[in-house]
Amino acid sequence: MTDTLKIADKTFESRLFTGTGKFSSSQKMREAIIASKSELVTVALKRVEMHNESDDILVHLNENHINLLPNTSGVRTAKEAIFAAELAREALETNWVKLEIHPDPKYLLPDPIETLKAAEELVKKGFVVMPYIHADPVLCKRLEEVGVQCVMPLGAPIGSNKGLRTLEFLEIIIEQSTVPVIVDAGIGAPSHAAFAMELGADAVLVNTAIAVAQNPVEMGIAFKMAVEAGRLAYTAKLAPVKQHAEASSPLTSFLNE
Amino acid sequence: MSNFKDTFDSYDWDSLEKEIYAFTEADVRQVLAKDKISLTDFKALISPAAKPFIEQMAQRSQALTKKRFGNTIQMYIPMYLSNECQNICTYCGFSMTNKIKRKTLSDKEILEEVAHIKNLGYDHILLVTGEANRTVGVPYLKNAIQLIQKHFSNISIEVQPLHQEEYEELVAEGLYAVLVYQETYHKATYKTHHPKGRKSNFDYRLDTPDRLGKAGIHKIGIGALFGLEDWRVDSFYTALHLKYLQKTYWKTKYSISFPRLRPHQGEVQPKVEMTDTDLVQLICAYRLLDEDVELSMSTRESVNFRNNIINLGITSISAESKTNPGGYSVDPQSLEQFEISDERNTQEIIEMIKKGGYEVVWKDWDRSYTELA
């Protein structure tokens, strides 16, 4: 398959990114992630013992094809995020970071101002920055300007499973972006993921919908298939949607008379 | 700047009580048909009329909890640092007038207890004291936090209410959360149970979460002690408090606890009994009101109750708790604040959680985040 996704120095066969939270056991998490064929897996720094090689989550993700993407969930400011990213770079030996700054612990909505500040600083420090943000087209352009390698706009609040509630803005972001667009948060069903891919998103990130499913392994597979189907539909170019039948041309037929 | 007292003063206990007891099954049915539960709806859900709907509420509570918190239960453990106290609280084993041996842990003893607790696997700790400002004031607490900091990712305290500046000082040392229960929101009853000591100041205690919010703490735990007054009205006030705090200090996380009066030295019988069914109804009602609030359950509750409650909305529990200073290793025989009910050890609780299909979460914070604050 040649339709790969490139972010910074890495090439991904799979356009499904996953998370590690909310599973009923680390073993279940591992099985679901492996079944999903995901190659980029985000892990909250606050949940792992960074300097402990036998950390339960990290041990279960020790696979060649799985790239760890540490996230800064829990920090409230740019300063804290930068500090956390540096700790992760040192302990987990990766310069990739999913930048999550949500000072609001209730809806976990990202702070655009702190995120932009931190992104700029982290790029300068040599990080591959994947910022979790509102579906705000202008913020996406501003982030591009400071050198982030992709943007991760939300479809709906994290963990809400509500689908692409920000559709109008996601479409603008996808249209305008010069870096990969990864729809993150809110994707609650494979159909949502397929829809995001059909719109032209470069990838999606799914966690809750897989972790909390009755059968996370099968759900991981379902998301894999949905993302592939959506992507294929996008590259195959969807037939246009017609609002009504085109039976005749009552307004312009006179031109042919 | 506003404080909760303004909101509190605009409500009247007796009218609330009347209102809560007047709901009908039809009212409850209407509330349960809604997607979003308001504070007014919450009253119906904690009313006697909601009792027949408890299974329906539990199902919904479980689904909401799983969506937000996943298949996980967080573990924490309390560590009592001192039982010295200058308050009289009629229901508490540490009450000033109780003739018990008083003890405050030394540095060496704190570290001995820590070693024992770390061995059990804990990474989130709750430090508890009575109120004895000369021996267990801010300098003592600050020292204790510094002492144990490198052993725990997450440190909470349940101690006497402090001033805003004092909280700021402790937050700077790496304090993550403060639990402070109003005990009861009924002013007169509060006075009866807290006749002497700094704790007898109802308003100062009521204002404590505000001071914590202003001090920029990461998490505030609130609640009422069930048994002192009608649990329904007290729970409405707690929910009111929660909603006020969430709006005002929006960067702070909140948790609710559900302590029921337990036997202890210097017995007071509960004025209003709260049954297991009542408590399940309340837990579910909180979850329906708020998808995100942490709901915490201590070892005060029985084995059977705790086995089942982790499915219904509770997100964090303790295990193997000792409620006496030095109880883990230094002085296991000293007097407890109250008797715990679930006496299983940590390993047994882990098994119980796993059997229920949940993962045990030991660490959900990183020390580096608080150190930086």
Task: Using a pLDDT cut of 90, give the percent of chain B over it.
Answer: 77
Q: Are strands A182-184 and A40-44 parallel, antiparallel or unpaired?
A: unpaired
Return the pLDDT at A246: 65
User: What distance in Å separates residue B126's CA from the closest CA in chain A?
Assistant: 18
CA-CA distance, B262 to A178, in Å (whole number)?
A: 63
User: What distance in Å separates residue B339's CA from the closest CA in chain A?
Assistant: 32
Per the annotation, the verdict on A98 as an active-site residue is yes
User: What distance in Å separates residue B90's CA from the closest CA in chain A?
Assistant: 36
**Structural domain contains residue B18:** no
- For A163-201, give one letter per residue: b (16+ CB within 10 A) or e: bbebeebbbbbbeebebbbbbbbbbbbbebbbbbbbbbb
Contacts of B365 in chain A (CB under 8 A): 46, 74
Average pLDDT of chain B, as a whole number: 92
**Could you state, in order of their start, the residue ranges of all structural domains in chain A?**
5-256
Q: B71, A212: Cβ pair inside 8 Å?
A: yes
Return the pLDDT at B314: 96
Q: How confident is the model at residue B366 (pLDDT cuts 50, 70, 90)?
A: confident
Q: B366, A46: Cβ pair inside 8 Å?
A: yes
Residue of B nearest to A45 (CA): B366
Model confidence at A9: pLDDT above 60: yes
Task: Using a pLDDT cut of 70, give the percent of chain B over it.
Answer: 97
Active-site hit among A22, A28, A37, A98: A98
Model confidence at B373: pLDDT above 70: no
Helix pair angle (A190-199, A216-235), 10° resolution? 20
Q: What is the pLDDT of residues A44-86, one digit of tens each?
A: 988 888 777 778 888 888 888 889 999 999 899 999 999 999 9
Q: What is the pLDDT of residues B11-45, one digit of tens each?
A: 999 999 999 999 999 999 999 999 999 999 999 99
Q: How confident is the model at residue A194 (pLDDT cuts 50, 70, 90)?
A: very high
Residue of A nearest to B154 (CA): A46
Model confidence at A245: pLDDT above 80: no
Model confidence at A243: pLDDT above 80: no
**Structural domain contains residue B21:** no
Helix (H, G, I), strand (E, B) or coil at B358: coil
Sign of CA dihedral B78, B83, B88, B92: positive
**Structural domain contains residue B64:** yes
Which spans in A47-111 are helix H? 56-60, 78-92
CA-CA distance, B252 to A189, in Å (whole number)?
A: 31
Q: What is the pLDDT of residues A220-236, one digit of tens each?
A: 999 999 999 999 999 99
**Structural domain contains residue B84:** yes
CA-CA distance, A65 to A34, in Å (whole number)?
A: 9
**Structural domain contains residue B255:** yes
Domain A5-256 has CATH 3.40.640.10: no
Average pLDDT over residues A133-138: 95
**Structural domain contains residue B2:** no
Complex ipTM over 0.85: no
- Tokens matching residue B61: 């509570």
Q: What is the pLDDT of residues B169-227, one digit of tens each?
A: 999 999 999 999 999 999 999 999 999 888 999 999 999 999 999 999 999 999 999 99
Q: Containing domain of residue B131, as a range?
A: 39-372
A157 touches chain B (CB under 8 A): no
Closest Cβ opposite residue B67 in set A23, A26, A208: A208
List the 24-83 stretch of B: residues with Cβ below 8 A of A: 66-72
Return the pLDDT at B86: 87
Contacts of A26 in chain B (CB under 8 A): 359
Q: B70, A103: Cβ pair inside 8 Å?
A: no
Q: B369, A105: Cβ pair inside 8 Å?
A: no
**Structural domain contains residue B33:** no
**CATH number of the structural domain spanning residue B348:** 3.20.20.70
Closest Cβ opposite residue A159 in set B67, B359, B372: B67
